[in-house]
Amino acid sequence: MALEMRGACERCDAPLDHNGLAYICSFECSFCGPCTRQLAHKCPSCAGELARRPTRI
């Protein structure tokens, strides 16, 4: 089962490169680095931890 690699931050709509820095929660909500820092690494949708999303090769 593959992760859903969303192409934009769910908070500010900034583009997220599939091989760039992005953060996800366990429900695969996706956020850019600046929004993740502003959210204190906590997902606003589920209150779960935002962790760095793995890159694709």
| Cα–Cα distance for residue pair 29/4, rounded to 1 Å | 9
In this predicted model, what pLDDT tens digit does every residue of 14-56 receive, in sequence order?
999 988 899 999 999 999 999 999 999 999 999 999 999 988 7
CB 41 within 8 A of CB 23: yes
Confidence band, pLDDT 50/70/90 cuts, at residue 1: low
Q: Indicate the domain borders of the chain.
A: 1-57
The reply to whether CATH 1.20.1530 applies to domain 1-57 is no
**pTM of this structure:** 0.88
